[in-house]
A and B are shown apart, each in its own frame.
Chain A
Amino acid sequence: MTAVGERLPELRRTITLPDMIAYAGATWDWHRLHYDPDYLAGRGLTRPVVDGQLFGALLAELVRGWAGPGAVLTRLHLRFAALVFAGETIAATGEVVEVDGDTVVLTLKVTVADDGRVAVHPAGATVVLVAP
């Protein structure tokens, strides 16, 4: 029985440069911010920047993994709060804030595990659960 205050199992992921290259290829997004040292240096950055949209995908997987097969993710929103760089480890977390029948509203967050800075906040999702 899902109740307000329940926390989702944390999703932790180290995002390496090869991971970022795979994501760039898989999304047809070859923006230089995600891999090009000269481009980055011209913008005062020393490490490739993780594509923020990846965090949307990871939050969707966090929610789907917790909600189980058959559950339907109907809404997801996220706001980018800080850049994340190649090689950093992120932790995606969530908590139930509202339960209305089968419909559950979650608040979500992505932090950088290495130093605790908040990468994505506020964020949240709505998921419709199915009876086990």
Chain B
Amino acid sequence: MLTEQLRAQLGREVVYTAPEEIGRAAIRYFAQAIGAVDPAYTSGDDPIAPPTMICETNQYANLPADADGYPGHGWHLDVPGARLVRGGNAYEFHQPARASDVLTVTWRLESVTERVTGGGTPMLVVLSTATYRNQRAELLAVNTETLIYLGGGA
């Protein structure tokens, strides 16, 4: 599954800068959607966002939705016959994002590894990092994301 074409993409970086600040309304909407009641998300001049919000929203990417309806970052790797599933996320939080922050997010394709599941299905494990900074270049968070391409018609 791991072709030279895929290998050649290692180290690729894409940088997105949000077209606007995160915004109080976006934070309140996210907090409401996850059932969070912490007043820190809605009070004061410049409320903080729930920790994972900036790693979950596609607001900053400002991309059109793809055929699946997804308007976020993707590497669009060509893995014929494979099914893409989410593996997991590891987040480091350095300081809370605030309503007035304008995000710049740097995605980097860190590694692509060929493995076999316990059931014998071949898979490609794609590891990416996203680094989130605000308009003052202050580090807010790092998100290490694992995506899995399951092969063999799984």
Contacts and interface: CB of A to CB of B under 8 A. Distances in A.
Contacts, number: 109
Interface in B85-121: 85-93
User: Looking at chain B, what size class is its interface with the partner chain?
Assistant: 35 or more
A117 interface: no
A6 interface: no
Nearest to A13: B35
Contact of A79 (B55, B65, B88, B92): B88
B135 interface: no
Contacts of A32: 68-69
A14 B89 CA distance: 23
A58 B40 CA distance: 16
Given A22-B32, A27-B56, A76 B51 contact: yes
Nearest to B85: A80
A60 interface: yes
Given A56-B91, A57-B50, A76-B52, A28 B58 contact: yes
Nearest to B40: A69
B69 A58 contact: no
B70 to A, nearest CB: 5
B34 A23 contact: yes
6 contacts: A26-B26, A36-B69, A53-B89, A57-B56, A75-B93, A77-B88
Interface of A: 13, 19, 22-23, 25-33, 36, 39, 52-54, 56-58, 60-61, 64, 69, 72-80
The 10 A-B residue pairs whose C-beta atoms are closest, nearest first, are: A79-B88, A77-B90, A28-B58, A26-B33, A22-B33, A26-B30, A30-B69, A57-B34, A23-B33, A26-B29
